[in-house]
């Protein structure tokens, strides 16, 4: 299985959304997402990371909510 770590930005704050990295395990994807710098620190606005299962095209982990 393959996972995409993705940053969700804020259109009002000007923080972009973009792919961060793909991985083969959910554990590695969550680790990368949790270690991604805060958008407040790097871009001055709101944002968070999610992990998408590329096989089912669903979000399986949300930086605001944890595992779904």
How many domains does the chain fold into? 1
- Model confidence pLDDT, tens digit, residues 14-56: 999 999 999 999 999 999 999 998 889 888 889 999 999 999 9
Average pLDDT over residues 62-68: 78
Whether the model pTM is above 0.85: yes
pLDDT-derived band of residue 68, with 50, 70 and 90 as boundaries?
A: low
pLDDT-derived band of residue 2, with 50, 70 and 90 as boundaries?
A: very high
- Which single residue is written with the structure tokens 């407040």? 40
**Residue 33: which of 11, 66, 10 has the closest Cα?**
66
Domain containing 11: what range? 3-67
* Phi-psi category of residue 14: left, alpha or beta, with phi > 0 → left and psi -120 to 50 → alpha: left
Average pLDDT over residues 54-66: 91
- Which single residue is written with the structure tokens 């979000």? 59
């Amino acid at each position: 299985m393959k996972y995409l770590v993705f940053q969700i930005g804020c259109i009002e704050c000007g923080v972009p959304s973009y792919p961060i990295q793909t991985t083969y395990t959910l554990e590695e994807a969550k680790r990368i997402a949790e270690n991604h710098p805060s958008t407040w620190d790097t871009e001055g606005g709101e944002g968070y990371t999610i992990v998408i299962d590329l096989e089912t095209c669903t979000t399986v982990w949300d930086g605001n909510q944890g595992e779904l």
